[in-house]
Amino acid sequence: MKKLLLLFLSLLIFNIGKAQNSAVNIIPQPVEIRQLSGSFQLKNGQSISFNKAEARSVAEMLAQRLNVPTGFSLKAQQGNAGAIQLIINENDDVKIGKEGYILNVSPQKITISANAFAGLFYGMQTLLQLFPKEIESKKATKANWSVPAIKITDYPRFVWRGIMLDVSRHFFTKNEVKDYIDQIAKYKYNTLHWHLTDDNGWRIEIKSLPKLTQIGAWRVARTGHFGDREEPKEGEPTPYGGFYTHEDIKEVVQYAQERNVSILPEIDVPGHSMAALAAYPELSCTKQKVHVNPGTAFSEWYGNGTFKMLVENTLNPSDEKVYEFLDKVFTEVAQLFPNPYIHVGGDECYKGYWAQDAGCQALMKKLNIRHVEDLQGYFMGRVEKILEAKGKKLIGWDEILEGGISPKATVMSWRGVKGGIEAAHLGHDVVMTPTTFAYLDYMQGEPTIEPPIYAYLRTKKSYSFEPVPDGVDAKYILGGQGNLWTEQIPTLRHAYYMTFPRAWALAEVYWSPKEVKNWDNFAKRMEAHFQRNDISEINYSKAVYDAIIRTSRKNGKLIIEMESEIAGLDIYYTIDDTMPDQFSTKHDGKPLELPEGNITLRVVTYRNGKPIGHLIALKRTDLERRIGR
């Protein structure tokens, strides 16, 4: 009996160890994973060694990340005697490139080897994800600080892996931006696209043009839904806003560089310039005074994608003073940001004021162009020459293709992938960031529950994105990014709610080989990261647990279809004005024909007998409105 008991315990311990080893929940999924037997135990008194000076900062960062939650006093030291060893290769491993790494975990030690700092940093991020979730604690806590034995070889699919943060609609402090950088760097993003100017605020100090921040960085205080707010009144105080000084920007840029994140600054021109025109109205066609917009309805949008501005927000392309202004702006921007690109916007430029302006008409005649839209090509050509004189390259939204751009310009495809396909066929480098997959400001779940905006995008849809369209040479696709516009995002906590988990899905799209992508596998890892964020107190959305409800009409009857993003959820519903629970009618996966009458459909999801999703309640009128959507 004793022998049988010992054998049983041995098998139990083996299976527990095997189960621990199988719980590898890395996002984004590495290129190669080989799980081994055993585990490494982190202990107080161990050290983190590094072989070259350029690895010191990663070693020190790792020591701090481990010491806070464990309460240990691990130290970084040069040499090769550490229990955790960071190694910059003497000879480059061509397979892993600049940002790749090899992580080896054995019961005796951990080694991360890479060709450069970037690879070591990403190897560190993967290692931290192998520790138990308590590693995300902001204070010392108790846990089994072990890492499963494993070998990982990893490197990115794309060189451009970005997130855009809009700080014009709502200002985020430099410390909030640094915190956001920390969170995206965990998932191997290497670009923060910083949307610094728009109609709603100018956020970067330009010392040669002080009114840009004295006036353009501040607006009247307003609450309520963005786009439905009251117009500013003449003489009304403008307390809401903020901007970054040169010193702030230098600090953030350095902080980002230490995390292998390059910051791409955006100065949005010639449209989206109301904050600049509030400071310098003489740069517009009408030269009329405007206010920094607090979120009023200043435009009319039509069903075919065209629109009309009710207030001028566009720089005058025929005025030489505009280019003198831009030269001053880009001189200071170029000095502050080491990124080889400067983003110049170029999107949603309303040309109605140009069409009515005598100076623009004279310029069109001089250039022998018939269409006012072609003035944008002229404007962008002038801007590109300004940037080139400062050693920078131009990148803009896909509207910069209108009117022609130089072959050296890089295009961000946001209106679907069409602009990216066109740009690639013309030989332009392209960053894919289409609304259909990558817009993080869109609702991510049931529209009657989520904070309202004009479109929605579920995590599963983001995960399905393929950045290289059929028929396009992959060499022109630099990569992609997710875009977080902040009209409806006033706080950093809500920014995280909108960013995650969709940014995790996109991280895997941009980093991992497309052959390893699998939604159900990703979803399990995503849920493990929910738990990590619970401990780190970083907000995220749980909309993936909510039922998806679609409607159609067949033979005059209202038909309801229901499903979930996450496999294994049970959907319960009622149509008798009672609250649904696990004892209500369970959805069998078949279309439901809704009976006639003033009926409210109530739906909730469960897993393993426990509620997990939000309660959704839809009246018949609500259901009819979404037919075919």
| Catalytic residue list | 348
Asked if residue 467 has a cis previous peptide bond (ω within 30° of 0), the answer is: no
188 Rama sector, left if φ>0, alpha if ψ -120 to 50, beta otherwise: left
Q: At what angle do helices 492-499 and 502-511 cross, to 10 degrees?
A: 50
Helices (H), ranges, 411-487: 418-425, 435-438, 459-463
Separation of alpha carbons 43 and 279, rounded Å: 59
382 Rama sector, left if φ>0, alpha if ψ -120 to 50, beta otherwise: alpha
Distance between the two ends of the chain, CA-based, in angstroms? 66
201 Rama sector, left if φ>0, alpha if ψ -120 to 50, beta otherwise: left
Token match 């995960």: residue? Answer: 463
Token match 């030690």: residue? Answer: 109
Residue 5 near residue 75, CB atoms below 8 Å: no
Separation of alpha carbons 119 and 100, rounded Å: 5
264 Rama sector, left if φ>0, alpha if ψ -120 to 50, beta otherwise: beta
Token match 């990216």: residue? Answer: 420
How many alpha carbons lie under 13 Å from residue 577 in its C-beta half-sphere?
3
Residue 421 near residue 469, CB atoms below 8 Å: yes
Which 3 state secondary structure label does DSSP give 156? coil
Separation of alpha carbons 526 and 514, rounded Å: 17
Q: Beta 341-345 vs 477-484: how paired, if at all? A: unpaired
Strand partners, 161: 480
Q: Is the dihedral of CA 44, 33, 508, 421 positive or negative?
A: positive
> Which residues, 6+ apart, have CB-to-CB distance to 512 below 8 Å?
28, 29, 30, 31, 157
* Tokens describing residue 560: 């309801």
Per residue, the 3-state secondary structure of 123-135, as one string, reads HHHHHHHHCCHHH
Amino acid type, 6: L
Q: Is the dihedral of CA 165, 169, 174, 180 positive or negative?
A: negative
Token match 């049988």: residue? Answer: 4
* Tokens describing residue 391: 């050693």
Residue 402 near residue 373, CB atoms below 8 Å: yes
Separation of alpha carbons 604 and 113, rounded Å: 48
What Cα–Cα distance (Å) separates residue 68 from each residue in 83, 136, 421? Answer: 18, 9, 47
Separation of alpha carbons 279 and 209, rounded Å: 9
Token match 């207030």: residue? Answer: 311
Q: Running DSSP on this structure, what letter comes out for residue 442?
A: S
